[in-house]
Amino acid sequence: MRMELRVCKHCYEGTHGNPEKTAITQDMVECAERIREYKDLIGIDSLYITRVAEGDPGGEETLPAVVASIENDRITLTDTQLVMEDDQQNMLVYPEPTDILDVLTRNIDQISQQTRQDVNIELSEESIELVR
């Protein structure tokens, strides 16, 4: 299985001025980094983390899938998403932060069952509210 987490670079750095979104985005990246560190324990071949800046062409680095929506008669590409590809090349794309955090934290739970090391991530209050 291959995974790619794409996040808005400005949300991650906090330059959008939305501290809640920044906390959630930073939690996503921290979870993905932990999963990447222990990926072999749960059968993940690779996990890429991409920080997408405004003007990037969809941000797709590894897995060729981009989520779009229509807002005010304009096509908008989703800058935050989790893309997964299984061994049969089936693609799963999660564009919602709640779903992304749920998938990432479940992977961390699986890792914690395979190692004696503490792999848990201390999530922000904002992220905890999303995954309840």
What pLDDT is attached to residue 62? Answer: 67
Grouping H, G, I as helix, E, B as strand and the rest as coil, residue 78 is coil
What pLDDT is attached to residue 70? Answer: 85
Report whether 2 contacts 62 (CB < 8 A): yes
Number of structural domains found in the chain: 1
Q: Order of strands, edge to edge, in the sheet holding 46-52?
A: 46-52, 2-8, 81-85, 91-94
The pTM (predicted TM-score) of the whole model is: 0.89
Domain hosting residue 97, numbered range: 2-131
Encode pLDDT of 38-74 as tens digits.
Answer: 999 999 999 999 998 866 655 556 667 777 888 888 8
What pLDDT is attached to residue 16? Answer: 84
Residue ranges of the chain with per-residue pLDDT less than 50: none
C-alpha gyration radius of the chain: 15
d(CA 87, CA 70): 31
